[in-house]
């Protein structure tokens, strides 16, 4: 042990003597660890965000009209394929195993706090209880009385739930008003009172939103004739067999598709397959590049230390001890680089999350649990060991006579 401690001390002295190359290796390892950490965090965030978005709405089944993927930051191609959505939801709700079936439509609407300057955002149309954590003991509800059994001549409540992002953008809160409509003229004619600020739908959509009763969204966007919705969220009674209900709905409505939460998560993130492949490719590239850099730096260090290493070997130091000396250098470079890369991780994650929020609409898209940083440190140590292993082959073949011969 004392000999190994001495060799580790000698390794640190050698690195300090060749500090320029050592710093280069540390920077390379740190950058590789940082890049891998960020990319793993992004991949983890993509999948966990899909799950959180679905679980936030808290439904057991999802009825769709076919392929549907919520694209963060926009409705990008999301259609409302379910026709006669109120009637379909009512039919599903009539099943004794179903506690509630709530249609949900997504449409682009104009929004303004003053009726003169408008922006577009995502309008969500839905009915019934929306967020049990907001409102009175019965939870926050949207009353769809305007539907009036399909006549659309009931009184409009003109109530809206807005996302925190919308509230911040327009500097509004509960009991303030917003002008909302599918066209500018419709928006100027329809002033909605804010009844709550909730992140429920912005979490689901990955962007700011305004939620109003489904029939009122259809009214202000001119889509009452077909009563379309994008999804119907189904909540089951306790103990109900979700698979059996799913089969019965699909049997009654063969044109519709029913998914469980896990299936819907896969649908949401399935469109990100190319992103995931790119993330994996970049992780592999970062690892390979980091290993090659450490190998090259250590090989250069060994070449620069050939005379000293030859002298040690000639004085009786075993070849195994010299290999351990190089291994200690690789470990030191890997550990220091790994610590530096992990230390820079939180700042880099915070900065990139701000950028990604503006680009995608999802907050905290990069998520780095402890195992991500642990993987980064382990990777750094592995890079150091691999680099030292390759460089150690030079030491094992070192001949004192070749390097100590007088010029």
Mean pLDDT in each 10-residue stretch from start to end of the chain (407 residues)?
57 62 77 81 66 57 67 50 90 90 88 90 82 51 88 92 90 94 92 88 74 93 88 86 88 85 53 55 68 70 66 64 73 83 87 68 71 85 76 62 52
Predicted pLDDT at 138: 46
Phi, psi values for residue 71, rounded to 5°: -95, 125
Residue 262 lies in a domain: no
Residue 258, Cβ density class (10 Å: 0-12 exposed, 13-18 middle, ≥19 buried): buried
Residue 104 lies in a domain: yes
Element counts in the chain: helices (H) and strands (E): 14, 11
Residue 314 lies in a domain: yes
Residue with token string 């001949």: 399
Q: Are residues 128 and 233 in the same domain?
A: yes
* Number of domains, the chain: 2
Q: Are the beta carbons of 294 and 387 closer than 8 angstroms? A: yes
Q: Are residues 350 and 400 in the same domain?
A: yes
Q: Are residues 125 and 248 in the same domain?
A: yes
Predicted pLDDT at 404: 53
Predicted pLDDT at 215: 94
Residue 160 lies in a domain: yes
Predicted pLDDT at 69: 47
Q: Are residues 320 and 250 in the same domain?
A: no
Residue 58 lies in a domain: no
Q: Are residues 71 and 27 in the same domain?
A: no
Q: Are the beta carbons of 397 and 310 closer than 8 angstroms? A: no
Q: d(Cα 180, Cα 115) in Å, to the nearest integer?
A: 9
Predicted pLDDT at 246: 86
- Helices marked H in 131-180: 164-170
Q: Are residues 295 and 348 in the same domain?
A: yes
Q: Are residues 215 and 250 in the same domain?
A: yes
Who contacts 88 (Cβ-Cβ below 8 Å, separation ≥6)? 63, 82, 101, 103, 232, 253, 256
Q: d(Cα 223, Cα 218) in Å, to the nearest integer?
A: 5
Q: Are residues 82 and 225 in the same domain?
A: yes
Which of 201, 222, 255 marks a domain boundary? 255
Residue 20 lies in a domain: yes
Phi, psi values for residue 111, rounded to 5°: -135, 140
Q: Are residues 187 and 138 in the same domain?
A: yes
Phi, psi values for residue 143, rounded to 5°: -85, 120
- 337, two tokens: 């680089």
Who contacts 359 (Cβ-Cβ below 8 Å, separation ≥6)? 73
By residue range, what is the domain housing residue 165? 66-255
Strand-pair partners of 180: 111
Which of 255, 290, 305 marks a domain boundary? 255
Helix, strand or coil, per DSSP, at residue 68: coil
Q: Are residues 179 and 279 in the same domain?
A: no
Residue 264 lies in a domain: no
Residue 59 lies in a domain: no
Q: d(Cα 41, Cα 349) in Å, to the nearest integer?
A: 8
Phi-psi category of residue 285: left, alpha or beta, with phi > 0 → left and psi -120 to 50 → alpha: alpha
Which of 255, 282, 305 marks a domain boundary? 255
**Cα dihedral 386, 388, 394, 399 in deg (nearest 10):** -150
Q: Are residues 244 and 177 in the same domain?
A: yes
Q: Are residues 247 and 208 in the same domain?
A: yes
Q: Rounded to two decimals, what is the model's pTM?
A: 0.57
């Amino acid at each position: 042990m004392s000999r190994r401690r001495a060799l580790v001390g000698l390794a640190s002295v050698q690195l300090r003597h060749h500090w320029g190359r050592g710093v280069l290796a540390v920077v390379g390892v740190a950058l590789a660890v940082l890049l891998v950490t960020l990319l793993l965090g992004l991949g983890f965030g993509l999948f966990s965000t899909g799950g959180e978005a679905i679980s936030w709405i808290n439904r057991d089944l999802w009825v769709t009209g076919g392929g549907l993927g919520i694209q963060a930051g926009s409705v990008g191609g999301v259609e409302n394929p379910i026709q006669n959505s109120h009637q379909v939801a009512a039919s599903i709700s009539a099943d004794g195993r179903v506690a509630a079936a709530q249609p949900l439509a997504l449409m682009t609407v104009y929004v303004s706090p003053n009726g003169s300057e408008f922006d577009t955002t995502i309008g969500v149309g839905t009915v019934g209880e929306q967020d049990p954590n907001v409102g009175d003991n019965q939870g926050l509800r949207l009353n769809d009385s305007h539907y009036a059994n399909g006549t659309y001549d009931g009184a409009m409540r003109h109530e809206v739930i807005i996302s925190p992002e919308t509230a911040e953008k327009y500097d509004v809160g509960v009991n303030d008003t917003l002008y909302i409509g599918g066209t500018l003229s419709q928006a100027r004619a329809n002033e909605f009172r804010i009844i709550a600020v909730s992140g429920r739908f912005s979490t689901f959509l990955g962007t700011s939103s305004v939620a109003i009763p489904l029939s009122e969204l259809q009214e202000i966007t001119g889509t009452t004739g077909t009563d379309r919705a994008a999804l119907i969220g189904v909540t089951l009674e306790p103990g109900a067999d979700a698979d059996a209900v799913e089969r019965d709905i699909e049997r009654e409505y063969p044109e519709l598709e029913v998914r469980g939460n896990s299936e819907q998560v896969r649908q949401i993130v399935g469109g990100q397959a190319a992103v995931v492949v790119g993330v994996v490719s970049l992780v592999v590239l970062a690892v390979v590049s980091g290993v090659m850099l450490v190998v090259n730096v250590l090989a250069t260090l060994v070449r620069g230390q050939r005379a000293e290493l030859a002298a040690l070997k000639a004085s009786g130091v075993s070849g195994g001890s010299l290999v351990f000396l190089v291994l200690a250098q690789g470990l030191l470079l890997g550990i220091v680089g790994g610590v530096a890369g992990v230390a820079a991780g939180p700042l880099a994650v915070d900065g990139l999350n701000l950028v990604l929020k503006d680009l995608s609409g999802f907050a905290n898209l990069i998520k780095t649990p402890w195992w991500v940083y642990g993987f980064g440190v382990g990777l750094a140590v592995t890079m150091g060991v691999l680099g030292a292993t390759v460089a150690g082959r030079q030491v094992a073949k070192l001949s004192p006579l070749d390097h100590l011969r007088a010029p």
